[in-house]
């Protein structure tokens, strides 16, 4: 059964129901999370922020695994013993290029298929979907500085994810055009909100809007 958490950002004043839901997904009393940054976080600045977020919901065992400058092939495999793997935010194109370079995409698919949980934030959330093309869409698009050609991502769901939605109708109109051109569906998510995929169900938390070229729906909590 596929278990995913797709977040727009890690906001400490975020939805309590979402935090409670995330904690409830862990069946262990003392769960462990393996953290993969989108690029080397030498000062552990973003890792520290993430660690504090999980600490506040009662999870203390957070381990850092670098795929970039501090990559250690002989120890990276132990991440798959963790109860969940956290994919950080950052430049989505660079992040996917690292996953490709280190041959981690297939390992992550096997991990989830075997019951492991993936938690994504922004770029990390986009990586759980079929493609990262949406990362290059809009005014605040990521730069494809690595000249990435293969945009295929993990493909655990049949929709795409647009983090950091500003709540405006203009942004939704832009996404509507994207879905028409690409024949897809996109969840636009404001910071503080998220999606939880638990098996076949998709639960929405916070201000999340579904934009689908076939239909339109919304959910506000």
pTM, entire model: 0.95
Confidence (pLDDT) at 7: 97
Report all structural domains of the chain as residue ranges with CATH numbers, in order of start: 3-220 (3.40.50.880)
Confidence (pLDDT) at 129: 98
- Which among 58, 32, 62, 68 has a CA at the least distance from the CA of 47? 62
Contacts of 117 (CB under 8 A, 6+ apart): 3, 4, 5, 25, 26, 83, 84, 85
Q: What's the CA gap between 203 and 208, in Å, rounded?
A: 10
Q: What's the CA gap between 49 and 218, in Å, rounded?
A: 30
pLDDT tens over the chain, length 221 residues:
899 999 999 887 767 899 999 999 998 999 999 999 999 999 999 999 999 999 999 999 999 999 999 999 999 999 999 999 999 999 999 999 999 999 999 999 999 999 999 999 999 999 999 999 999 998 889 999 999 999 999 999 999 999 999 999 999 999 999 999 999 999 999 999 999 999 989 999 999 999 998 864 444 44
Its sign, for the CA torsion 52, 57, 58, 62, is negative
Residues paired with residue 188 on neighbouring β-strands, in sequence order? 162, 209
Tokens 């950091």 correspond to what residue? Answer: 164
Q: What's the CA gap between 40 and 214, in Å, rounded?
A: 40
Confidence (pLDDT) at 14: 61
Confidence (pLDDT) at 105: 98
């Amino acid at each position: 059964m596929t278990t995913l958490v797709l977040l727009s950002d890690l906001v400490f004043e975020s939805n309590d129901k979402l935090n409670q839901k995330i904690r409830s997904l862990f069946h262990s009393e003392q769960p462990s999370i393996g953290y993969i940054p989108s690029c080397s976080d030498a000062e552990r600045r973003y890792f520290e922020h993430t660690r504090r977020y999980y600490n506040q919901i009662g999870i203390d065992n957070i381990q850092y695994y670098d795929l970039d400058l501090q990559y250690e092939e002989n120890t990276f495999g132990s991440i798959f013993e963790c109860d969940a793997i956290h994919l950080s935010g950052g430049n989505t194109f660079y992040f996917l290029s690292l996953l490709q370079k280190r041959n981690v995409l297939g390992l992550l698919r096997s991990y989830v298929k075997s019951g492991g949980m993936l938690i994504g934030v922004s770029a990390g959330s986009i990586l759980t979907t079929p493609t990262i093309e949406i990362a290059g869409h809009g005014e605040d698009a990521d730069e494809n500085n690595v000249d990435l050609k293969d945009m295929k991502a993990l493909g655990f769901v049949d929709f795409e994810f647009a983090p950091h939605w500003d709540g405006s109708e203009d942004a939704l109109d832009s996404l509507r055009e994207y879905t028409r051109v690409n024949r897809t569906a996109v969840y636009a998510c404001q910071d503080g909100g998220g999606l939880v995929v638990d098996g076949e169900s998709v639960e929405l938390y916070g201000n999340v809007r579904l934009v689908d070229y076939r239909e339109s729906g919304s959910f506000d909590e």
